[in-house]
Amino acid sequence: MKVYELRNVGYRYPTGEWALRGVNIEVRKGETLAVIGPNGAGKTTLLKIMDALLLPTEGEVLFEGKPVTEETMTDKDFRKKVGFLFQSPDVMLFSATVLDDVAFGPIHIWGKAEGSKRALEALKFLGIEGLADRHPYNLSGGEKKKASIAAVLSTEPEVLLLDEPTRDLDLKNRNFVLDMIHRWKGEGRTVVVVTHDLRVIRLADRVYVMDGSVIFEGSPRELFLRPELIERANLDAPEIIKLFHALGIHEEVPMSVEEAAEILIKWKREQSTSKSSTLKEF
Amino acid sequence: MGGLLESTAREVLEFTTEAVFSERYARKNGLLQRADPRVKLLSLLTLVTVVVSLRNIYVILFFYTVPLVFAFLSHIRVSDFIKRVWFFIPAFTGLIAVPSIFMIPGRPVFTIPFTGWSASWEGLTWAVLFTLRVATAVSYAILFTMTTRWKDFVSALTSLRVPGAVITITTLAYRYIFLLAKLLLDSMHARRSRLAGDLGLVESWKEAGKHMGATFIKANSLGEEVYYAMLARGYSNETLRSEGLKIEKTDYALAVFTLILLALAVVTTEVFR
């Protein structure tokens, strides 16, 4: 089942400049989709269009088969189903306490009593109930990110739109976000993530490379087989992939260290077999 | 001078952010925190109106002590409260009060050497009266903001049938000011970190102009982002229905006390006419 269908979508800024043109994307239920591309490629604009915060200048967006219109922007059912994690937690945290902030969405959807209950549950789920009464601006970067994740999760969305979720985080907090994405994937939620983080890309089922329009669609493995695309997306290829290219192994690309070890052992064996047969022939 | 200007602006920003948004006192279990926000809001409006119409210095002084007692009963540190009130007074009243000391004609008290400017007794009395009246009115307003959580204030506005558009604009402004204050502080720090020594007066004013322009542009896009973040989480320009507001004994007591003060103001105004 298709959750999103973007047909020939284009978006022009009020300045007249085009952010996106001719974008055709499909998102299927339960899949994790990574959107990558250089800065200014229109990735965040794309997420905003998918969250009905912006309407496309041209083309059409369908959510669960129905067109996204101006009414979708304030449609409670849509807001219940789709959660948007903004790149900057500062933009998302605007209330006097973390609890008020997390409760903002659920209260608008379910009312005060149910909303506050769900907000507390979300804080407990993330293990940050101790931050409930804290002022959002007194939190560390990692805490702010967790609070904004709680704010998104408090409405229990089926679809998660994540804008650079691991940006500016230390290793521990990055791992936390990666675990969350892994978990959502396991729970069958649909995740669309804009990222520059290769570890996030590895978690995706499919990848779109964008630069004003879609220039590649395929699996992460297919992407890593094409260094020119990685370069165009402004990504630094993983060291292990650089090693494989240096060794002239172009047919296979590992997605983990274990996989790399397996391929290398096989490759070494093939190398020595071909060497001994050449010697025999000689 | 540039440094003084910058540090004053920074202090004002830091103080405002802490004072307005922390809700530190609003979450305590004091007398006014327990009161219904609607009753508090109506009492506040009544008392501010009463205070600005007072003419006698002793009556104003009496009205000034009322919020101090309320602050104490609401578990607010009185020194904090006084500091918060008087922090804004010089800026707001100084511009009007100081020149009037010299402009209102009357019995001369002292003369500033080499200028020929003479302060009059009547001018001084007016300046003191004016400053005290503003301080008293501000005390009531600050007492209200310190003891009321923002969401309760919005609930009170809703149940008092204030138009939805006014509430939406107020809510957006409140949320947005958070970010704007932070943005201003951050850019001030960023500017300071790249500045060796102090700028001259003219240069610092030029820089302040540029700073304001840049902040305006940033603020514009930031405001849009905050609005999107609110929309993304189910906000649909509607004001939430107030829930859980109930008039109790404290509220009746507060209402009666406000009426007593109102009556007292009317009587004393007649007596000291």
B-side interface with A, Cβ within 8 Å? Answer: 17, 21-23, 27, 149-151, 175-176, 178-179, 182, 222, 225-226, 228-237, 240, 243-244
Residues B120 and B30 in one domain: yes
Q: What is the ipTM of this complex?
A: 0.71
Residues B157 and B182 in one domain: yes
Give Cα separations from A15 to A48, A52, B206 (angstroms).
Answer: 18, 21, 29
> Contact A161/A84 with Cβ under 8 angstroms?
yes
Q: What is the least distance, in Å, from the CA of B169 to any CA of chain A?
A: 15
More confident residue, A281 or B143: B143
- pLDDT grade, residue B4 (50/70/90)? low
User: Which of A46, A86, A94 is the best mutation test for B, with the most CBs of B within 10 A?
Assistant: A94
Check A76 against B222: CB less than 8 A apart. no
Check A91 against B229: CB less than 8 A apart. yes
- Write down the pLDDT at residue A224: 83
Give Cα separations from A83 to A73, A115, A126, A156, B272 (angstroms).
Answer: 13, 15, 16, 8, 64
Chain B hits for A84, Cβ within 8 Å: 229, 232-233
On the question of pLDDT at A144 being above 80, the answer is yes
Kindly give the interhelix angle for B2-21 and B201-232, rounded to the nearest 10 degrees.
20
Residues B208 and B260 in one domain: no
On the question of pLDDT at A276 being above 80, the answer is no
Q: Average pLDDT, whole number, for chain A?
A: 87
CA dist A252 and A273 (Å) reads 19
Residues B78 and B15 in one domain: no
Question: Mind giving me the DSSP string for A182-209?
Answer: HHHHHTT-EEEEE---HHHHHH-SEEEE
> Contact A178/A59 with Cβ under 8 angstroms?
no
Candidate from A84, A133, A137 with C-beta closest to B232? A84
On the question of pLDDT at A192 being above 90, the answer is yes
Tell me which chain B residue has its CA closest to the CA of residue A47.
Answer: B232
CA dist A153 and A150 (Å) reads 5
Task: For chain B, give the percent of residues with pLDDT over 90.
Answer: 17
Tell me which chain A residue has its CA closest to the CA of residue B20.
Answer: A96
* Strand boundaries in A43-195, DSSP class E: 58-63, 66-67, 82-85, 159-163, 190-194
Most confident listed range (A96-100, A201-205, B105-109, B191-195): A201-205
Residues B131 and B212 in one domain: no
Q: What is the least distance, in Å, from the CA of B21 to any CA of chain A?
A: 6
Candidate from B22, B175, B236 with C-beta closest to A94? B175
Domains of chain B: total:
2
More confident residue, A18 or B195: A18
- pLDDT grade, residue B1 (50/70/90)? very low
Candidate from A91, A106, A155 with C-beta closest to B225? A91
Q: What is the least distance, in Å, from the CA of B115 to any CA of chain A?
A: 50
- Write down the pLDDT at residue A28: 95
Check A74 against B228: CB less than 8 A apart. no
CB atoms within 10 A of CB B53: 11
Element (H, E) at A36: strand A32-36
CA dist A33 and A26 (Å) reads 10
Sign of the dihedral defined by the CA atoms of residues B197, B199, B201, B205, in that order: negative
Q: What is the least distance, in Å, from the CA of B154 to any CA of chain A?
A: 13
Domains (ranges, CATH) in chain A? 2-236 (3.40.50.300), 238-282 (no CATH)
On the question of pLDDT at B9 being above 80, the answer is no
Residues B51 and B175 in one domain: no
Residues B142 and B219 in one domain: no
Q: What is the pLDDT of residues A94-134, one digit of tens each?
A: 777 889 889 988 888 888 888 889 999 999 998 899 999 88
Candidate from B150, B230, B234 with C-beta closest to A109? B234
Beta-carbon pairs below 8 A across chains A and B: 81
Q: What is the least distance, in Å, from the CA of A84 to any CA of chain B?
A: 6
Check A86 against B232: CB less than 8 A apart. yes
A 132-171 residues with CB < 8 A to B: 133, 135, 137, 151-152, 155
On the question of pLDDT at A184 being above 80, the answer is yes
CA dist B178 and A186 (Å) reads 37
Residues B160 and B185 in one domain: yes
Average pLDDT on B56-70 reads: 92
Element (H, E) at A35: strand A32-36
Residues B61 and B93 in one domain: yes
Candidate from B150, B229, B233 with C-beta closest to A79? B233
In chain B, the N- to C-terminal Cα span, in Å, equals 47
- Write down the pLDDT at residue A134: 84
Amino acid at A57: T
Residues B47 and B77 in one domain: yes
Average pLDDT on B222-237 reads: 81
> Contact B125/B40 with Cβ under 8 angstroms?
no
Q: Average pLDDT, whole number, for chain B?
A: 80
- Write down the pLDDT at residue B166: 80
In this complex, is the C-beta atom of A176 within 8 Å of any C-beta atom belonging to chain B?
no
Q: What is the least distance, in Å, from the CA of B30 to any CA of chain A?
A: 18
Residues B235 and B135 in one domain: no
On the question of pLDDT at A181 being above 90, the answer is yes
Strand pairing class (A159-163; A190-194): parallel
More confident residue, B83 or B198: B83
**Burial zone of A117 (CB within 10 Å; 0-12 exposed, 13-18 middle, 19+ buried):** middle
The helix, strand and coil proportions of chain A, stated in percent and rounded to the nearest 5, come to 50, 20, 30
Chain B hits for A74, Cβ within 8 Å: 231, 236-237
Give the domain extent around B39: 24-148+246-273
CA dist A8 and B31 (Å) reads 61
Average pLDDT on B69-75 reads: 93
Residues B131 and B259 in one domain: yes
Q: What is the pLDDT of residues A21-59, one digit of tens each?
A: 999 999 999 999 999 988 888 999 999 999 999 999 999
Query: How many CA atoms lie within 13 Å of A142's alpha carbon, on the beta-carbon side?
Result: 12
Nearest CA-CA partner of A64 in A187, A209, A156, A190: A190
**Burial zone of A151 (CB within 10 Å; 0-12 exposed, 13-18 middle, 19+ buried):** buried
Q: What is the pLDDT of residues B111-158, one digit of tens each?
A: 888 777 888 888 888 888 889 999 999 999 889 888 988 878 888 888
Segments in chain B forming alpha helices (H): 2-21, 31-34, 37-52, 57-73, 78-103, 121-147, 150-159, 164-193, 201-232, 249-271
- Write down the pLDDT at residue A173: 85
Check B233 against A105: CB less than 8 A apart. yes
On the question of pLDDT at B198 being above 70, the answer is no
Average pLDDT on B239-250 reads: 71
- Write down the pLDDT at residue A147: 92
On the question of pLDDT at B21 being above 90, the answer is no
Q: Which of B1-5, B73-77, B110-114 has the lowest mean pLDDT?
A: B1-5
More confident residue, A14 or B49: B49
Average pLDDT on A128-151 reads: 87
- Write down the pLDDT at residue A49: 94
Candidate from B225, B231, B243 with C-beta closest to A112? B243
Chain B hits for A106, Cβ within 8 Å: 234
- Write down the pLDDT at residue A11: 94
Candidate from A96, A105, A151 with C-beta closest to B23? A96
Average pLDDT on B206-234 reads: 78
On the question of pLDDT at B196 being above 70, the answer is no
User: Which of B22, B233, B241 is the best mutation test for A, with the most CBs of A within 10 A?
Assistant: B233
